[in-house]
Amino acid sequence: MFYREAGDFKVSYRDDSQTFPIKFDRYRYYVVLAVAFGIIPFIINDYWANALLLPFLIYAIAAIGLNILVGYCGQVSLGTGGFMAVGAYACYKLMTAFPDVSMFIHVLLAGGITAIVGVLFGLPSLRIKGFYLAVATLAAQFFLVWLFNRVPWFYNYSASGQINAPERDVFGIIITGPNAPAWATYLFCLIFLTLCAILARNLTRGTTGRTWMAIRDMDIAAEIIGVNPLKAKLTAFAVSSFFVGIAGALFFAVYLGAVEVGEVFGIQKSFLVLFMVIIGGLGSIFGSFAGAAFLVLLPVVLKVVGVDVLGWPTDIVAHLQLVIVGALIVMFLILEPHGLAQLWRVAKEKLRLWPFPH
């Protein structure tokens, strides 16, 4: 009885088409934002930041970006790890070349550089699609990792071959390096996630999102009715790569601090973000959040239950995690292709009618 649309009248088309048409949803959204910005920074510690919150925030940005490309535009991509590496190395070069520029600008410019690279590797999508496009993006993944490994200029000729984030601050507060407080890094990533989610939501609800979905559903019919496939596909690759590049820059500069491209941004990173999108739900911004939260929480929960409570060996728990993720992907693809987001939508529809059967 607490989740009702009755009495929440719409008097304009703008009211009827808003993101949260039910007042309860809007209040819940404001409460979540208030808790995220006003409470968590005061109670967060290093463990919660490094084990849960920072990975969730950064992977959610990457999942939103990949969901725009795969879920909304229907272009299969297996090169997310490589594009995250572009964002990380672009941010590193900008941080070392322009130390006095704000980190906000560095991260945004790293996303822009990644968008340009994404458009270049998205050009084959104009001629190929499906499995062949997946292979093309997979080639981009291996090529970018090879490039950052083999060209010393990208890691400033370091003997170790890895990149290390120098200490930088925003408004006098350190946000990169070993001395950065947990609440500062959390808020820095949270601001980017909030802005990316709002931008993605408005893009997917507007004309650009409708052209993406038209290409996804039937590209030939979309072209017949006037949709430009060149513009639609390349904008999807650009926006997706922009978000993924921001995630890569934050993953390197704020979360890890030091990166070796082959270990951090390998093919397993591409599959991890893809699994987040599949489990969370294709074509859903909320699904990107849900998938990221699930796959970040799963290893922690399994470690607590399997190792700390049941006393199992850590290698068995690690293999069990792979089994669970694989079984869930198969289950969702067969039983619920729209993932956790669809389950959430069904639950809300049930609540709108409960306790009445009709």
Between CA 120 and CA 115 the distance in angstroms is: 9
Checking if the pLDDT of 1 tops 70, the result is no
> For residues 131 and 116, what is the distance between their CA atoms, to the nearest angstrom?
23
Within 13 Å of residue 309, how many CA atoms lie on the same side as its CB? 7
Domain residue limits, the chain? 44-266
**Reported pTM:** 0.93
Cα torsion angle, 78, 80, 83, 85, sign: negative
281: tokens are 């739900």
Using CA atoms, how far residue 2 sits from 53, 79, 234, 302, 344, in Å, is 30, 44, 44, 34, 17
The pLDDT of residue 262: 83
Q: Above pLDDT 90, what percent of the chain?
A: 45
Residues paired with residue 173 on neighbouring β-strands, in sequence order: 170
Write down the residue that tokens 């074509």 correspond to.
283
Structure tokens at 136: 């093309």
- Give the integer Cα–Cα distance in Å for 163 and 132: 33
Mean pLDDT of 328-351: 84
The whole-angstrom separation of Cα 79 and Cα 241 is 10
Average pLDDT of the chain to the nearest whole number: 88
- Report how far residue 343's alpha carbon sits from residue 335's, in angstroms, rounded to the nearest whole number: 11
Lowest mean pLDDT among 209-218, 269-278, 327-336: 327-336
How much is the pLDDT for 37? Answer: 93
Q: Bridge-partner residues for 169, per DSSP?
A: 174
Q: How far is the first Cα of the chain from the last one, in angstroms, to the nearest whole number?
A: 14
Please name the residue ranges forming H helices in the chain: 13-16, 23-38, 40-43, 46-48, 54-67, 80-97, 103-122, 131-150, 182-205, 207-217, 219-224, 229-250, 261-264, 267-280, 285-302, 314-335, 339-353
pLDDT at 312: 81
306, 312 contact by CB (below 8 A): yes
pLDDT given for residue 119 in this prediction:
93
Q: What local confidence, expressed as pLDDT, does residue 302 receive?
A: 85
Q: Decide which of 15 and 346 is more confident.
A: 346
pLDDT in tens, 244-276: 999 999 999 999 888 888 888 989 999 999 999
Contact 289, 304 (CB under 8 A): no
Ranking 40-54, 107-121, 224-238, 332-346 by mean pLDDT, the lowest is 332-346
Owner of token pair 């819940």: 28
Torsion of CA 171, 177, 179, 183, to 10 degrees: 60
CA atoms within 13 A on the CB side of 304: 5
Quick check: 249 and 259 in contact, CB under 8 A?
Answer: no
Name which residue leads in pLDDT, 40 or 26.
40
6 pLDDT band, cuts 50/70/90, is: low
Neighbours of 332 (CB within 10 A): 22
For the segment 265-315, what is each residue's pLDDT rounded down to a tens digit?
989 999 999 999 999 999 889 999 999 999 999 888 888 888 777 878 888
pLDDT at site 28: 84
pLDDT at residue 105 in the model: 93
pLDDT of res. 318: 82
pLDDT of residue 171 exceeding 60, the answer is yes
48-65 pLDDT per residue, tens: 888 899 999 999 999 999
User: What does the block give as tokens for 318?
Assistant: 């690690």
β-pair partners for 170:
173
Quote the pLDDT of residue 173.
87
Task: Tell the burial category of 162 from Cβ atoms under 10 Å away from its Cβ (0-12, 13-18, 19+).
Answer: middle
Q: What is the pLDDT at residue 191?
A: 94
